[in-house]
Structure 1
Amino acid sequence: MNRNHGDASPAPDVFETLESEVRSYCRGWPTVFDRAHGSYLYDEQGRAYLDFFAGAGSLNYGHNNPVLKSALLDYLGRDGITHGLDMSTAAKRAFLQAFQDAILRPRQLPYKVMFPGPTGTNAVEAALKLARKVKGRETVVSFTNAFHGMTLGALAVTGNAFKRAGAGVPLVHSTPLPYDGYLDDATPDFAWFERLLTDKGSGLDHPAAVIVETVQGEGGINVARPEWLRGLGELCRRHDMLLIVDDVQMGCGRTGAFFSFEESGVVPDIVTVSKSISGYGLPMALCLFTPELDAWEPGEHNGTFRGNNPAFVTATAALDAYWTDDQLEKQTLLRGEQVSQELATIRAEHPDEVQGIRGRGLVWGLPFHDTQRAARVAARAFQLGLLVETSGPDSEVIKLLPPLTVTPDELDEGLRTLSRAVRETA
């Protein structure tokens, strides 16, 4: 294995001359990747890069996971259905049964399963449409630093000013409120929200729903306390609002449990799931909701690629391999402790530069006071053979999303590389 990470060769001209300027990740990682396995990607020169990005959370089980790959190859080899819209197929039936048996029933969750378009923002759009349809109201409450997707409805409940500006039209029918810790505990949780709801002069149209991430990934790895989430759930019940949890990035075991809200004891009315639900990086999304909310007319919300059968196959294999017991959950929490300890060491070595550490399970953030520092650390990490991205409103946070299947040695290697990158960018 070639571990000599010198300057990467320039990207071939076709990327510059033909592909849109909208491309982003390739700018921070200027090489051409060719193959991947487990926790590593390899470029065309054979250089290995330890992946603490995991497809932005779409590869919780690593690259080309052999169990999932075997199931996929077998399915394709027998000419299994590839494209099925929302037709009934054997692959969909197997997934639904496995999802019910491994995930819903053990947690006593009564959800119906909807397959919207194949991405997270599609699931969010479906959730917002359903909440408004059921409640007959337009307003949805979201939170500061939230990120829910790039389509117009999802952008309306997203906080990032840069992403919102890209819409080109007014983003309406949403109201942002402070996320947990946003006001540094200056006021009691939800005191302002409750006052708005009960004061006829507040100007707040009664919301249909509240949408929230239990951990804000793109927002900077902001972690909501379980008691804050419980308080939000109780507030929604008191005031006849649906609670939507966006689990697109933090679900499928990223925080330990399969759903990120399990620790709090909250049972949302609607849940959005995507990214790692297929387990293999294949596009797939779910919108889950309680049966009494299933007010859709046939075909009222549809999409050409909502029936990605190869994704059903790998999703079923992932559930069978990793979610019939609690071993992956325990392993994720153990690996999370390893990350937490090393990040605490990095902070202790750089007390005037690192703001703190944030995270749960295997999603962690290292925020810097200098908002340009995280980008320099990520660039140096790439030169040293580690892929990490930045997040936060000013991209001031190093964001760690290693595969859940990462080994202790791989985790140690990546954390040592990160520590070196921080030292060498001082």
Structure 2
Amino acid sequence: MDHIQDKTNNMNVFNQMESEVRSYCRSFQTVFTTASNAKMQDVNGKSYIDFFAGAGALNYGHNDSRIRTKLIDYLLEDGVAHSLDMATKAKENFLLTFNRTILEPRGLQYKVMFPGPTGTNTVESALKTARKVTGRTNIVCFTNAFHGMTQGSLSATGNRFKRAGAGLPLSGTTFMPYDGYFGDSIDTSAMLEKLLDDPGSGIDLPAAVILETLQGEGGLNRASASWLRKVEQICRKHQMLLIVDDVQMGCGRTGTFFSFEDSGILPDIVCLSKSIGGYGLPLALTLIKPEHDIWSPGEHNGTFRGNNLGFVAATEALRYWESHTFQKEIKRKSDVIHTCLSRLAADYPEWISEIKGMGFIQGMSFHEPEMASKVCKEAFHNGLIMETSGPFDEVAKLMPPLTIEDEVLKQGLAIIERALKTVTENEAGRKVVVTTDKVEVKV
């Protein structure tokens, strides 16, 4: 009987036993069983192209064969799985590989802190570091930011719905308008500088500024390089630390390993998680300039910060970055995505307001916000997994694995185009028709 139940696409167990807080399983109403690179299968054998990639945790796809082999070998050799922050060979290999493959070629010098296994853990540790270093408490963050769901990270998160879930006042932060918040004609970095220069502004001198160079959950808002440099200059002027949250945008999602590489800035602290784990395994790093690493032993800790399986997977995943080939492939495929979305925007100007994002995180912003969800729902019906973002869920967002095959990428884009065509035709049929004597709804 259990075997028969396993072969059905029944959501009853999840609906009855899992907390009402569950989210993605409501959008993707099926029971998944297996996955390989950019494809997932459900219990009925239906295949789905994954343009979601674990919300950015699967940049190297599902079940990468090289990484899987390393993990299996490590387990069969009785490699240490859990070690708190004790020294292990797996951690040593990761640190040496990360330094040699990522930091040194980019001229970067950071101490590596393992704060805990998730994105919000690294953000929390970054905020604590900045406050400890400067002796100040206030943190400047930005409209439509998303930094995590624990109290400190949530206090720097803009979404009103998510903030309300805290159940208590969120403090210690000052929100400022992100680049382009008021349109292209207003430089919001000048607003920040004016307020910090003015002792009568009412803003406590901050310990740090925390930002995403491209806001994923906030609607694919992209900061310009000039704005980022101005914000960095303001930080230096007021002895504030600059924190870049690269939890979702790091590990190649925007085209380069770090999202800030082409901007000319040098953050004091960088937050990494999600795809740094290589295989979807929990792992997070907080990169700290050596002069700011003033922690006392054990002053910040966590039971699962020594995820050795994450170290093994991450070390193997970094092999993708040993040459420039992988980054060039990301750029080539990103252009394919952008070309397709730009064509759709030109074909459907009455529906699509703009194309947003860059690299392997791009999307379509709709004039009518609910259209994004409708397109995503229709795409899922046709075998594609994608989600929405933005304060009104107005952006249909594409986040395929960076390793997606060309043919699968094209198939996924074709499904989006078909979904867009279906939804817009259905919506057009419901538009209000104005006649000479009355307004009627055409069904």
TM-score for both structures, normalised by structure 2: 0.93
Describe how 1:324-363 pairs up with structure 2 within 5 A.
324-363=322-361
Cα contact 2:41–2:47 (8 A) shared by 1: yes
Match of residue 370 from structure 2: 372
Measured after TM superposition, the shift of residue 266 of structure 1 is 0.7
1:314-329 equivalence runs, <5 A: 314-320=313-319, 322-329=320-327
CA distance in 2, matches of 1:292, 1:317: 30
* Match of residue 39 from structure 1: 38
**Per-residue deviation, 1:10:** 5.5
SS at match of 1:63: coil
Partner of 2:178: 179
Equivalent residue, structure 2, for 1:391: 389
- Secondary structure of 1:381's partner? helix
Q: Distance in 2 between matches of 1:152 and 1:12?
A: 32
Specify the SS of the correspondent of 1:288: strand
- Aligned residue number for residue 12 of structure 1: 11
State the SS of the aligned residue for 2:353: coil
Match of 1:423 among 394, 397, 421: 421
The residue number in structure 1 matching 2:21 is 22
For residues 75-123 of structure 1, what are the alpha-carbon distances to aligned partners after superposition, in whole Å with 9 as ceiling and x for unaligned?
Answer: 0010100001000000000000000000111111110000011000000
Work out whether 1:272 is the aligned partner of 2:293. no
> C-alpha separation between the residues in 2 aligned to 1:327 and 1:60?
16
The 1-side partners of 2:315 and 2:138 are apart by 36
Is contact 2:59-2:253 (8 Å) kept?
yes
Q: List per-residue Cα deviations over 1:324-343 (Å, max 9, x = no partner).
A: 11111111111111000000
Distance 1:59 1:10 in 2: 24
Distance 1:403 1:226 in 2: 25
State the Cα deviation string for residues 9-48 of structure 1 (Å, max 9, x = none).
7633221111101000000110000010011000011110
CA contact (8 A) 1:197 1:206 kept: yes
Name the stretch that deviates more: 232-241 or 42-51: 232-241
Q: Which amino acid aligns with 1:157?
A: A
Kept in 2, the 8 Å contact 1:9–1:30? The answer is no
Q: How does 1:74-113 map to 2 (within 5 A)?
A: 74-113=73-112
Q: Which runs of 4+ in 1 moved over 6 A?
A: none
Instruction: Please say if residues 255 and 333 of structure 1, whose CA atoms lie closer than 8 Å, have aligned partners that are also in contact.
Output: no
1:281 alignment counterpart: 280
User: What amino acid sits opposite 1:70 in the alignment?
Assistant: T
- Contact 1:343 1:357 survives alignment (8 Å): yes
Whole-angstrom CA distance in 2 between matches of 1:399 and 1:187:
27
Aligned pair 1:155/2:162, yes or no? Answer: no
Moved more, 360-369 or 273-282: 360-369
Task: Note if contact 2:8-2:44 (Cα within 8 Å) is conserved in structure 1.
Answer: no
- Distance in 2 of aligned mates of 1:396 and 1:189: 23
Amino acid aligned to 1:286: L
Q: Distance in 2 between matches of 1:136 and 1:242?
A: 12
Cα pair 1:233 1:243 within 8 Å, conserved = yes
Look up the match of 1:217.
216
Contact 2:180/2:186, CA 8 A, preserved across alignment? no
CA distance in 1, matches of 2:355, 2:184: 18
User: What one-letter code is carried by the residue in structure 2 that aligns with 1:116?
Assistant: P
Taking the TM superposition and a 5 Å limit, the aligned residue runs for 1:225-236 are 225-236=224-235
Q: Amino acid of the residue matched to residue 203 of structure 2?
A: L
Structure whose CA Rg is larger: 2
Which residue number corresponds to residue 257 of structure 1? 256
For 2:85 and 2:312, locate their aligned partners in 1 and report how far apart those are by CA, in whole Å.
Answer: 15
Match of 2:191 in 1: 192
**Aligned counterparts of 1:81 and 1:9: Cα–Cα separation in 2:** 38
Q: Which amino acid aligns with 2:99?
A: Q
What is aligned with 1:407? 405
SS at match of 1:379: helix
Instruction: Give 3-state SS (helix, strand or coil) of 2:141's partner.
Output: strand
CA deviations 1:298-331 (Å, max 9, x no partner) are 00000000000001000000112x0111111111
Alpha-carbon contact 2:177-2:188 (below 8 Å) kept: no
CA contact (8 A) 1:391 1:398 kept: yes
Cα distance in 2, alignment partners of residues 254 and 12 from structure 1: 32
The CA distance in 1 between the partners of 2:227 and 2:162, in whole Å, is 27
**Match in the other structure for 1:122:** 121
Query: 3-state DSSP class of the match of 1:190?
Result: helix
Q: Which amino acid aligns with 1:361?
A: G
AA partner of residue 326 (structure 2) = L
Give CA deviations for 1:170-198 in whole Å, capped at 9, x if unaligned. Answer: 10010111111101034234121111111
Amino acid at match of 1:378: C
Aligned length: 418
Deviation sequence 1:322-372 (CA, Å, 0-9, x none): 011111111111111100000011111110110110121111011111111
The residue type equivalent to 1:240 in the other structure is Q
Quote the Cα distance in structure 2 between the aligned partners of 1:356 and 1:59.
26
Which one-letter code corresponds to 1:347 in the other structure? A
SS of residue matched to 1:425: helix
**Greater CA deviation, 233-242 or 213-222?**
233-242
d(CA) in 1 for partners of 2:172, 2:235? 18
* Structure 1: 5+ residue stretches without partners: 1-7
Q: Deviations over 1:375-419 (max 9, x none)?
A: 111110000000000000011101110000012211111111001
Identity %: 56
- Where 2:354 maps in the other structure, the secondary structure is coil
Distance 1:310 1:10 in 2: 31
Which residue matches 1:48?
47
- Determine the C-alpha separation between the residues in 2 that align with 1:259 and 1:357: 22
SS in 2 for 1:310: helix
Return the TM-score normalized by structure 1: 0.97
